[in-house]
Amino acid sequence: MSWMQEMHARPRESGKSECPQMQVAEDTMESWWAPELLQVEVLRNAIDCGEFVACYQPQFDLDGGHLRGVEALARWARPGFGMIPPAAFLGALREHDLLSELTIVMIWHAAAAVRRWEKGGLALPISINAEWRCLETGRLHVALRSACQHFGISMRSLHVEVSEQTEVNDLMTARDAIRALRAEGVSIALDDFGTGTTSLQLLRHIECDSIKLDQSLVKNIGRDPRAASLLGSVIGMVRAMGLKAIAEGVENFDDLECLIRLGCHQAQGFLLGAPMPEARLAHQFFKRQVSARWKPEM
């Protein structure tokens, strides 16, 4: 029985976060949200006090369903407010020029997690989101090197995802910064591909290892032949360039099966696994070690 057949053989609840605290926060955010939380002093203090934590979303290959890595996603563990989702604070962090500070925090969380997993006999890379500005200034490279040296892990253990939704201030500086990171073994992904206006220009000038196909390109491809044809062309282009195609936001079996037919390399999404705390990730997947495969829960 193939891994796709195994998935269909078991029922699975669709949808939302597998972290109960996080789910409560997402479902009730409008009822308790306080605008004063988004003031620059509050946000900066939250960063300094370690209130921003990492949840991890698993990424699977589509040729066998094996776990190949995780993406570190920020959550705000604010005392008295539960686990606050990123939609509530990322805009304010960007407005107050604090996104780079959050990125550095996430790098250290990820490096520490990699070290813990390696001690347990599991080598699994973690992807970290970063904005172009953090990369262009060199802060990203310095933080990656410092965290990896501190925990005694290889820089190959941390991957970087740079969103095309954030502005590239200096294309040549960004290109050189990425070359420097890749020279030390850091894998680079162009994130949210298909949402910006510079996708093809970035592909032409930026040397990366993978392309993360935005959820807007993936949604309903299993039921929309036109959308599937468009995404198939994009995946074909990515493969022709020798890059890896990773689909984001996979939420149903029809879309997953279509991605496999189109030749997409990897995927992530709520169907495969919601962002979850490290303890939940370890319980759900690590007990199977590197042979971990995705299976719906009973």
> What percentage of residues in the chain have a pLDDT greater than 70?
84
Q: How confident is the model at residue 137 (pLDDT cuts 50, 70, 90)?
A: very high
Residue 251 has pLDDT above 70, yes or no: yes
Residue 78 has pLDDT above 60, yes or no: yes
Q: How confident is the model at residue 161 (pLDDT cuts 50, 70, 90)?
A: very high
Q: How confident is the model at residue 82 (pLDDT cuts 50, 70, 90)?
A: confident
Average pLDDT of the chain is 87
CA distance 285 to 113: 15
Closest alpha carbon to 183 in 155, 143, 153: 155
DSSP 168-184: -S-HHHHHHHHHHHHHT
> To which residue do tokens 């040729």 refer?
63
Structure tokens at 230: 């468009």
What pLDDT sits at residue 1? 43
What is the per-residue pLDDT across 190-249, written as a single tens digit (0 to 9) for each? 999 988 766 788 888 899 999 999 999 999 999 999 999 999 999 999 999 999 999 999
Structure tokens at 259: 């991605």
Residue 157 has pLDDT above 80, yes or no: yes
Question: Please, what is the angle between helix 99-119 and helix 139-151, to 10°?
Answer: 20
Arithmetic mean of pLDDT, 99-126: 95
Q: How confident is the model at residue 102 (pLDDT cuts 50, 70, 90)?
A: very high
Q: How confident is the model at residue 94 (pLDDT cuts 50, 70, 90)?
A: very high
Closest alpha carbon to 147 in 185, 99, 109: 109
Q: How far apart are the first and last CA of the chain?
A: 18
Phi first, then psi, for residue 212 (nearest 5°) are -95, 115
Arithmetic mean of pLDDT, 243-265: 97
Residue 87 has pLDDT above 80, yes or no: yes
Least confident window among 28-37, 149-158, 179-188: 28-37
The torsion defined by the Cα of 28, 29, 31 and 35, in degrees rounded to 10, comes to: 170
What is the per-residue pLDDT across 272-293, written as a single tens digit (0 to 9) for each? 999 999 999 988 887 654 444 4
Q: Which domains, ranges and CATH numbers included, belong to the chain? A: 20-282 (3.20.20.450)
